[in-house]
């Protein structure tokens, strides 16, 4: 790193669609109850995109807020990395669609898929572009319209997910604040715990795939839960250890927002007081790749994260993938 500038998060933004779907609404759709959903997940309501409002439409307003927060003009962006499991289309990339809707004339564009860990993966890619010196302003965006791939007849999954988007602008730091370290991991052997079977080359769209409800998310929730706690805890411990820190040095933990029981089990395992842990899933649900972006923006704007804080982001998702990032805010 000698001679290289650190990468800093210059600004954050998020966008949530207006429509609210409560647990009581879900009670009318599937055999479930507000009591079960709150007890098993901590979620009370989530936002849903309007008909015709697609993933890029969620990303665009989040980017506008992040650009304004960073004080950066659209023309200054030289790279846009978009992370999503619900792209507008398989191709072209949703990043290119966002670029055309916003007007980012100087940005190269690509999509990145690491499911719910997409935020941490895309920050890691973006920060190395900045630290390498060839890129000055990198936009990273997470946007999801999970309602489009949710099986609204499957009570085991449909109660968990929501739609939304978040964004951040990365640039070279003026001081020693910024992204200190990021650890990433994956194990593809656990791919069948959380997946969407059809729509790719394995099962191209056909009458059979539609009849078999194969264009929806499938999940073995209990197995995912177990791996999530273990791998997130391990990710935090790796980042702490290789930077000579203990959990007591951390002011704020921002975990992926999937389930309050996963977050509590993680906090207990790594021994961080719950008051230091940011949670918004009660009103957001799990927004996959958008979740950590939105959480970081809300933690930032609400003052939960303050200048000078030492922050850890930690996530996991389909793949399975996982990772943790240490940031001097
Ligand atoms: N309402 C009422 N009952 C339900 C519901 C529901 N919505 N869903 C399941 N049940 C029932 C099940 O049928 C089961 O009944 P049975 O005992 O008669 O068979 C019972 O409740 C228990 O089901 P489990 O699945 O064992 O419940 P669990 O305590 O594991 O909670 C949950 C389920 C909430 C899905 C949990 O396992 C979880 O959160 N897992 C992690 C999921 C996750 O985080 N996924 C996102 C990954 S991020 C990404 O990449 C998209």
Give a three-class secondary structure readout of the chain.
CCCCCCEEEEEEEEECCCEEEEHHHHHCCCCCCHHHHHHHHCCCEEEECCCCCCHHHHHHHHHHHHHHHHCCCHHHCCEEEEECCCCCCCCCCHHHHHHHHHCCCCCEEEEECCHHHHHHHHHHHHHHHHHHCCCCCEEEEEEECHHHCCCCCCHHHHCCECCEEEEEEEEECCCCCEEEEEEEEECHHHHHHEECCCCCCCCCCCHHHHHCCCCCCEECHHHHHHHHHHHHHHHHHHHHHHCCCCHHHCCEEEECCCCHHHHHHHHHHHCCCHHHECCCHHHHCECHHHHHHHHHHHHHHHCCCCCCCEEEEEEEECCCEEEEEEEEC
Answer whether 289 contacts ligand 1 (Cβ < 6 A): no
Q: How far is the CA of 236 from the centre of ligand 1 (A)?
A: 25
Atom of ligand 1 nearest to the CA of 318: 50
Residue of the CA atom closest to atom 51 of ligand 1: 288
Answer whether 257 contacts ligand 1 (Cβ < 6 A): no
Give the residue, out of 23, 156, 231, with the most ligand 1 atoms within 8 A of its beta carbon, to mutate for a pocket test: 156
Looking from the CA of 5 toward its CB, the CA atoms found within 13 Å total 15
pLDDT of residue 231: 98
- With contact defined as beta carbons under 8 Å apart, do 198 and 46 qualify? no
* Residue 291, C-beta contacts closer than 8 angstroms, at least 6 positions apart: 116, 119, 142, 164, 256, 257, 258, 281, 284, 315
Answer whether 287 contacts ligand 1 (Cβ < 6 A): no
Answer whether 36 contacts ligand 1 (Cβ < 6 A): yes
Answer whether 5 contacts ligand 1 (Cβ < 6 A): no
Side-by-side strand order, sheet with 164-172: 7-15, 164-172, 138-144, 79-83, 108-112
Q: How far is the CA of 249 from the centre of ligand 1 (A)?
A: 34
pLDDT of residue 175: 87
pLDDT of residue 3: 63
pLDDT of residue 176: 86
Q: How far is the CA of 157 from the centre of ligand 1 (A)?
A: 7
Give the residue, out of 40, 43, 224, with the most ligand 1 atoms within 8 A of its beta carbon, to mutate for a pocket test: 40
pLDDT of residue 8: 97
pLDDT along the chain (329 residues), means of 10: 80 98 98 98 98 97 98 98 98 98 96 97 98 96 98 97 98 93 98 96 97 97 96 98 98 98 98 97 98 97 96 98 97
- With contact defined as beta carbons under 8 Å apart, do 289 and 149 qualify? no
Answer whether 317 contacts ligand 1 (Cβ < 6 A): yes
Can you list the domains of the chain with their CATH numbers? 7-175 (3.40.47.10), 180-328 (3.40.47.10)
Answer whether 13 contacts ligand 1 (Cβ < 6 A): no
Residue 231 and residue 321: Cα distance in Å, rounded?
A: 9
pLDDT of residue 288: 97
* Residue 238, C-beta contacts closer than 8 angstroms, at least 6 positions apart: 183, 324
């Amino acid at each position: 790193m000698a001679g290289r500038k650190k990468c800093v998060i210059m600004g954050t933004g998020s966008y949530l669609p207006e429509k609210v779907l409560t647990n009581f609404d879900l009670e009318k759709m599937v055999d479930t109850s507000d009591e079960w959903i709150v007890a098993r997940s901590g979620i009370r309501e989530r936002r849903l995109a309007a008909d015709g409002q697609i993933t890029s439409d969620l990303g665009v307003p989040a980017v506008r807020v992040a650009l304004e927060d960073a004080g950066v003009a659209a023309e200054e962006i030289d790279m846009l990395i978009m992370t999503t499991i619900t792209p507008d289309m398989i191709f072209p990339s949703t990043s290119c669609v966002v670029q055309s809707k916003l007007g980012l004339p100087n940005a190269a564009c690509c999509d990145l898929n690491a499911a719910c860990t997409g935020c941490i993966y895309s920050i890691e890619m973006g920060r190395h572009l900045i630290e390498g010196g060839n890129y000055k302003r990198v936009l990273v965006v997470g946007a999801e319209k999970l309602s489009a791939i949710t099986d609204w007849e499957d009570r085991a999954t449909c109660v968990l997910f929501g739609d939304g988007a978040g964004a951040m602008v990365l640039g070279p730091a003026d001081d020693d604040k910024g992204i200190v370290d990021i650890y990433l991991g994956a194990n593809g052997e656990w791919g069948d715990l959380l997946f969407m079977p059809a729509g790719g080359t394995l099962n191209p769209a056909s009458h059979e795939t539609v009849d078999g409800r194969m264009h929806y998310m499938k999940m073995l929730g209990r197995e995912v839960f177990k791996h999530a706690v273990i791998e997130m805890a391990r990710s935090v411990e790796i980042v702490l250890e290789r930077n000579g820190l203990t959990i007591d040095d951390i002011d704020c933990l921002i975990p992926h927002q999937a389930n309050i029981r996963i977050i509590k089990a993680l906090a207990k395992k790594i021994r961080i007081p719950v008051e230091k842990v940011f949670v918004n899933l009660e009103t957001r649900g799990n927004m996959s790749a958008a979740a950590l972006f939105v959480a970081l923006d809300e933690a930032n704007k609400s003052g939960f994260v303050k200048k000078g804080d030492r922050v850890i982001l930690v996530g996991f998702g389909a793949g399975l993938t996982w990772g943790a990032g240490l940031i001097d805010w």
